[in-house]
Amino acid sequence: MRSRNKLLADIEAFLRKTGMTPTAFGKQAVGDRDLVFTLREGRSLTLDLADRVIDFMAEYQGQPRPDVPLVASLGTESKVNERAPII
């Protein structure tokens, strides 16, 4: 029971960090779109399935969700020619 709660907490942290949906996570990790939802309801996993989930999180190459919106991170510099006439 304690290991399942730890795994679920790790998955929830992964989802927050990456911005991935629970459905996408389950499908990509183990081919089960309902994985996270059923874990939240108390489902237990086999050791093999738990290992696949852990391996997926460890090997994930996606980009973490930015904490700052992209527009705000671009700074104040503009690439627009300031001498161009405004029409």
19-53 pLDDT per residue, tens: 999 999 999 999 999 999 999 999 999 999 999 99
11 lies in some domain:
yes
87 lies in some domain:
no
Where residue 2 falls among pLDDT bands split at 50, 70, 90? confident
Task: Give the pair of three-digit tokens for residue 19.
Answer: 């911005």
Q: What is the pLDDT of residue 52?
A: 96
pTM comes to 0.70
81 lies in some domain:
no
Contacts for 22 with CB less than 8 Å, ≥ 6 apart: 15, 35, 36, 37
Q: What range does the domain containing 9 cover?
A: 2-70
CB 39 within 8 A of CB 4: yes
Domain count of the fold of the chain = 1
Q: What is the pLDDT of residue 62?
A: 77
78 lies in some domain:
no
